Each structure stands twice: as C-alpha cells, then as structure tokens.
Structure 1
Amino acid sequence: MRNKDITQVDRSALVNICNIHIDDSLPATVKARIYFDQVINPYCFRCGDTPVRVRFVAEERTLKESLRSYFSSLK
C-alpha cells in the first residue's frame, strides 16, 4: 500500500491512529512495535476522517530546509 493513490483507498479499511494508545512508560523499541502492530500499514492510515499517506523521498535537503522553502513560497 506504500505506492497506493490515497484518493483511491477505501477510508473504512484504514486504521484510525486516533484510536491507537501506547503506554509512555515503555521503552522506545517496545512502543514502536506496539504502534506498528496496531497501525498495520505505517504508510497509509487515517487521522480521524482524513486519510494519510506517508512517503519518503531521497533528497539532499533537510526537512528544515524543505519547510523553509515551502513557507517562503506562500508569501
């Protein structure tokens, strides 16, 4: 599902991450495992009624640089 078009995905089939609860006192590796077990597909899920598709692009710019460029373009 990593390559799926988010507009074509059945929203009802996606896990709503608002319903995922993880004990903050657990070690990070355990929390990550619990999250991945519950979300089922970490690339495509829902946040409320909004479908979310996560993807990573190999790029040399940092996230900070990308965000700065994006927000500068809105002026």
Structure 2
Amino acid sequence: MITNKQLEDMSKQNIETIDRKELADITAIHIRQDLPHNEKVLAFLEEIKNPYCFLCGDVPVRVCFSDNGPKFGQMLQDYFIRIKQG
C-alpha cells in the first residue's frame, strides 16, 4: 500500500529527469469494474505506480494540482464549451 509520504515524494518527481522505464502506461491499465470504489482506487494506484507521472502511449504525462487554482470540473466544462463554440 502506498503511504502519504510516498505520494508526496511522487508528486515532486520531475517528468524530465525520471527514467521512462519506471513509468506505467495508463492505456494498459485495466481495473475490474466489480470491485468496490476503495479497492478500485487501490488497484489503480498499484498498477500506475506513480499517479503524478506516467505514460499515455509514448507521451509522458505529469499531473499537478494547485490549492488555489480553478476546480477541475469547471476547467473541463469550460474546455468543452470552447470546443463546442469552435
């Protein structure tokens, strides 16, 4: 099981310097849908290895969050509105 300290350390890793061999490909992760929510989260964390740095195919991805930034849901809504408007 991943500890809070490990998650904190993972969140500080630099995508530019991390060994790509250490990164999991998110497109290859499959979580059983019959699991309870908590077990799905744990299974995802186990497979992704680092939820902050991973691959999506051949593309390295770095995820970060800001305490005082806009909410993710609002950003998605704004994004889809912009796409719809062309």
Q: TM-score, normalised by structure 1?
A: 0.73
Q: Does 1:8 align with 2:20?
A: no
Specify the alignment match of 2:36 in structure 1.
27
RCO greater where, 1 or 2, for CA within 8 Å and sep 6 or more?
Answer: 1
| Residue number in structure 2 paired with 1:68 | 78
5+ unaligned residues in a row in structure 1: which ranges?
none
Structure 2 unpaired stretches of 5+? 1-9
Q: 1:60 to 1:52 in 2, by over 3 A?
A: closer
Identity in percent: 36
1:50 to 53, 59, 77: 59
Q: Distance in 2 between matches of 1:22 and 1:41?
A: 16
Root-mean-square deviation (CA), in Å? 2.4
Moved beyond 6 Å, runs of 4+:
none
Instruction: Say how many residue pairs are matched.
Output: 71
